[in-house]
Amino acid sequence: MCGIVAYLGHKDAQPILVEGLKRLEYRGYDSAGIALLSSSGFRVHKTTGRMNGLEQSLPVDNCDEILGIGHTRWATHGKPTEANAHPHMDFSGKISIVHNGIIENYSTLKKWLQSKGYEFSSETDSEVVANLIGYFFNTENEFDNTTCQSENKFEWSVQQALSELVGTYGLAIMCSDYPDMLIGAKKGSPLILGVGENEFVIASDASAIVEHTTRAIYLSDNEMVTIKGNNFHTKTIDNIQITKTLKDIEFSLEAIELDTYEHYMQKEIAEQPTAIETCLKGRVDIANTRVVLGGLQDQLRDLARTKRIILTGCGTAWHAGLVGEFLFEQIARIPAEVEYASEFRYRNPIIEDGTIVIAISQSGETADTLAAIEHAKERGATVLGMVNVVGSTIARTTDAGVYLRVGPEIGVASTKAFTAQVAVLTMLAIELGRRRHLSYDLSAELLTGLSQLPDKIASVLKQQEHIKQIAKANIDKENWLFLGRGVNYPVALEGALKLKEISYIHAEGLPAAEMKHGPIALITNNMPAVFIATKSSQYNKVIGNIEEVRARGGRTIVIATEGDENIKQYADHLITVPDVTEQLQPIVTVIPLQMLAYHAAVLRGHDVDKPRNLAKSVTVE
């Protein structure tokens, strides 16, 4: 869960690395560092804390190195200290690496290297990689005697070291004996090579590349790239040459700029009308009462005949899956269940013939979800992906899938990706239902309702100031409840997650009916309880749950349908959303909860885009 960037070209590397790390800082921000290499050797700078601290520590003159690597860290092994910050050097001082991932057998390798006289200066698993490469590089004769030579000893040493590693890695590596060469390698952690005019950028994701080039190569597991001068070649780590295809990066530099917004989360909440419109465009065919999902067209017949769907994801994606479970069962009448990707492969799941697994991830790089995909495929399931990032590992690993098409999401707390995930699941449920039993009238009603959602979301966003005042009135309370029923229960979970992620207020999401089976004991005087009480099949039941909280002194914040006069008597604070069909409600009811969390965090003085202990793309288990 770290960000890495590396540069080899004809420009000063330092400012390029700094700018790249700023764009990657959402992947980790407890320490940062760069290493630059010239014919005179390495120049290394590392600091704890945010990127601005590193930037301020760097010299501004006489920086003429054209090769360098950089890293922004989310700690896994070892506390955030300067010693544990990347880049790491090997014991000889000839090898420098940056690493994203986890080396599972690092302890064994470290003991073995120590027995050979190697010393370590950090607590990290990553330093083992540097020293292991250094061991092979500094060992006499082995390279000359090998029967499967690489083009040079540096590349060979990297290959030998990688063959000993168990775990995941995205790596950028330099060697002082080869000041015109840069190596990248990937297994389980994302790595992209941007190819410009006589310059190359290696990075964890395209946001650090797009300023320099729109052409990129996406490395697959067990692949490496070696760049020398103006050329590069790709091969497997066991030295088999491979040819990779250059692909266009499908977003612009402007898409990842803040523009007039204070925070990326604020921007991404505001972008949701446009994002959902783009997500639906060309897919919702109202004239013919059907949905066109190009990436799934070849699978739709089998999907419509499937007996069971498993949805898997983590965090916000898991919440979207819960909405999907409701939609598949109610609209398509297909049994569905939702699994935490982090638990899926460890509990010996039952996967029968005809089971469809849908993996949901914004980044397309979530390590737990990738592991679930591999487990499902081993057991014979057809696995579909639902991701936002084009060319991501999940997009390339699954049998087929759908892109969200909402543009880059930089804020750690996911917003527009969630609404798009729900929109795609809704489209798929409608199309499967149409192919099975769903009436023409209901299909048409749902598709028309979907097409109207961008305008409905825009109307909710106009309540910004009102929601800010509600947040202001309640941010002194350290415990909140979020409650909903039916398709809005997952929205309650998502609202609670957003609040605790960025404001650090303890919040718990529950099915409203479950409150009295234990959690009602938590209700204290003026404790905020957020209810989703829109007009639905369970509206009266939710009113009863609100009454239970009010009877015990709780303070009610109610999300209700516009024009509902009855609900006002039950709400201490009222937020209204447009009237939409029950199955489509999550896409509008979640919007005020996103805004509520955002304003609570800002008012409490927290960094909304970089909440403590969190990173955007969870690429380690």
Query: Contact at 8 Å (CB) between 312 and 357?
Result: yes
Q: Which of 2, 175, 279, 314 is catalytic?
A: 2
Which one of the listed residues 94, 110, 187, 616 is annotated catalytic? 616
Residue at token pair 């798929």: 428
Tokens of 144: 């000359």
- Residue 543 DSSP SS3: helix
One-letter amino acid for residue 491 of the chain: V
Q: 246 near 239, Cβ under 8 Å? A: no
Q: Report yes or no: 121 and 127 within 8 Å, Cβ to Cβ.
A: yes
The residues near 608 (Cβ < 8 Å, ≥ 6 apart) are: 263, 265, 266, 411, 413, 502, 598, 601, 602
Give yes or no: 616 in active site: yes
What residues have CB less than 8 Å from 503, skipping those under 6 apart? 475, 597, 600, 601, 604, 606
Residue 279 a catalytic site member:
no
Q: Which residues of 160-179 are buried (b: 16+ CB within 10 A; e: fewer)?
A: bbbebbebbbbbbbbbbebb
Q: Is 378 exposed, middle or buried (0-12, 13-18, 19+ CB in 10 A)?
A: exposed
Closest to 556 (Cα-Cα) out of 456, 474, 457: 474
Round to whole Å and give the CA distance between 567 and 579.
14
**What DSSP element (H or E) covers 236?**
strand 231-236
Residue 292 φ/ψ, nearest 5 degrees: -115, 105
CA 22 to each of CA 26, 45, 229, 396, 502: distance values in angstroms, whole numbers, following the listed order: 8, 15, 26, 27, 20
Cα 449–Cα 307–Cα 286 angle in degrees, nearest 5:
20
Q: Please give the helix or strand (H or E) that residue 403 lies within, else none.
A: strand 400-403
Query: Nearest-CA neighbor of 68 among 94, 92, 44, 52?
Result: 44
CA dihedral 579, 585, 591, 596 (to 10 degrees): 90
CA distance 143 to 154: 10
Q: How far apart (Å, rounded) are the C-alpha atoms in residues 506 and 489?
A: 18
**Tokens at 454, concatenated:** 């961008």
Report the distance separating Cα 551 and Cα 544, nearest Å.
Answer: 11
Q: Say if residues 25 and 3 touch (Cβ distance below 8 Å).
A: yes
Tell me how far apart the alpha carbons of residues 502 and 411 are, in angstroms, rounded to a whole number. Answer: 10
CB 27 within 8 Å of CB 1: yes
In angstroms, the CA 276 to CA 608 distance is 23
How far is it, in rounded angstroms, from Cα 198 to Cα 184?
17
Quick one: which of 284, 330, 338, 328 has its CA closest to 306?
328
Question: Which residues does the annotation mark as catalytic?
Answer: 2, 616
